[in-house]
Amino acid sequence: MDNGKVQPNQKPSRKGRIQMGIHRTLSTERFQTIVIHYEIDEEIEWQTLTERENKVMNWQTVLTREFKDIHDRVLEELKLIHKKAYFKDMTEKNQAESYDMGSITNLDELDALAG
């Protein structure tokens, strides 16, 4: 008989809320952008942290797949071409000097590094 109490060998069920989203801004033409945004807000129940992690990872997979589907449909509907963007490797050209941050004891010394 279940009287609402946790049985001796059973961990209590916990509830949680998953909120996550993906936001992407695409430049379509000069001075023109389109924003594609998709988010989920779901409630989950779990008894162990492993079970919780698995449910969160499952929702991440769902979010990613649904965002990709929406993204592709929007591009198709607007007759836009999907272009991949890559960052240029500027490590040698723009490499900042390394500083010993442990030796900084006040904000004036930190400001001196920036200016």
Q: Which two tokens stand for residue 47?
A: 């008894």
pTM of structure: 0.60
- What DSSP state is assigned to residue 103? G
Count the neighbouring beta carbons within 10 Å of the beta carbon of residue 35.
8
Query: Is residue 46 included in any domain, yes or no?
Result: yes
- Position 80 in a domain: yes
Range of weakest confidence among 24-28, 64-68, 100-104? 100-104
Question: Does residue 106 fall inside a structural domain?
Answer: no
Evaluate whether residue 5 is within a structural domain: no
Is 103 inside a domain boundary? no
pLDDT at 37: 94
Q: CB of 40 within 8 A of CB of 73?
A: no
pLDDT at 61 over 90: yes
Range of the domain at 36: 14-95
Q: What span, in angstroms and rounded, lies between the C-alpha atoms of 97 and 88?
A: 20
- pLDDT for 29: 81
